Structure 1
Amino acid sequence: MTGAARNFFILALIYAICGMLLGLAMAIRQDHTQMPVHAHAMVAGWLMSGFFAFFYHFFPEIGRSRLAMIHFWLTAASGVVMLVSLFFVLSGNIAIEPVTAISSILFFLAILLFTWIALPVLRRTA
């Protein structure tokens, strides 16, 4: 794996470890207040980053493009900020909620960017 594929796969592994640790911590404490953060880490982080990694792996010329790297950094930065800020919001620090909202919008823009990248590739291979 190279380029964006490698970066996304490493990011997916980090999300998986963090999501599982949070899940274990909630189970041990029997406090599931942070379940939305756990779910976001596992789905938006682990699953989506893994999916992006394999897409870019199957289309390596796209995965080495500048646009793919922009997609990676936008996804990584907005996703991490979204999860950390959501953790604090659910802990009662509602003043940080605008940060969660902005990072969520940026994460959505990253998904739109991926769609922009992927659709032409899929049309060519059809």
Structure 2
Amino acid sequence: MQGVARNFFILALVYAIWGMLLGLAMAISHDHTQMPVHAHTLVAGFLTSAIFAFFYHLFPAARTSRLALVHFWLTTISGIILLVSLYFVLAGNPAIEPVTAISSLGFFAAMLLFAWIALPVVRKG
């Protein structure tokens, strides 16, 4: 893997480890308050990043675009802020909720950007 494909794959691994550690911590403590963060980490973080990694690996022309790099950084920054802020919101800090909302919109924008990048590539076959 090269370029953003490699970056997304590494990011996926980080999310997988973090999400599993959070799951283990919840199981050990019998406190499942952070279940939504656990689920978001594994689905929105690990799964989408892995899918992005394999897309860019399978379609090398797409990863050479500057938009691919923007896609990586928008996904990374908004995703990490989303998960960290959601953790604090669920820990009883509702004042952080606007940060969670804004980062959610950033993560959604990253998905829209991925669709913009991927759909023409997939249509070409």
TM-score, length basis structure 2: 0.99
What is aligned with 1:53? 53
Identity %: 72
How many residues align? The count is 125
Shift of 1:65: 1.6
Is 60-69 or 6-15 further displaced after alignment? Answer: 60-69
Could you tell me which runs of 5 or more consecutive residues in structure 2 were left unpaired when the two chains were aligned: none
Between the aligned partners of 2:26 and 2:58, the Cα distance in structure 1 is 37
Deviations 1:29-83 (A, max 9, x none): 0000000000000000000000000000001121122110100000000000000
What is aligned with 1:100? 100
Q: Secondary structure at the match of 1:33?
A: coil
Deviations 1:2-46 (A, max 9, x none): 111000000000000000000000000000000000000000000
Q: Which runs of 4+ in 1 moved over 2 A?
A: none
Tell me how large the CA RMSD over aligned residues is: 0.4
What is aligned with 2:69? 69
Give the aligned residue type for 1:110.
A
Deviations 1:67-120 (A, max 9, x none): 101000000000000000000000000000000000000000000000000000
Contact kept, 8 Å, 1:2 with 1:64, in 2: the verdict is no
What is aligned with 1:15? 15
What is aligned with 1:2? 2
Between the aligned partners of 1:66 and 1:77, the Cα distance in structure 2 is 17
Between the aligned partners of 1:64 and 1:93, the Cα distance in structure 2 is 41
What is aligned with 1:33? 33
TM-score, length basis structure 1: 0.98
What is aligned with 2:79? 79
Shift of 1:123: 0.8
Could you tell me which runs of 5 or more consecutive residues in structure 1 were left unpaired when the two chains were aligned: none
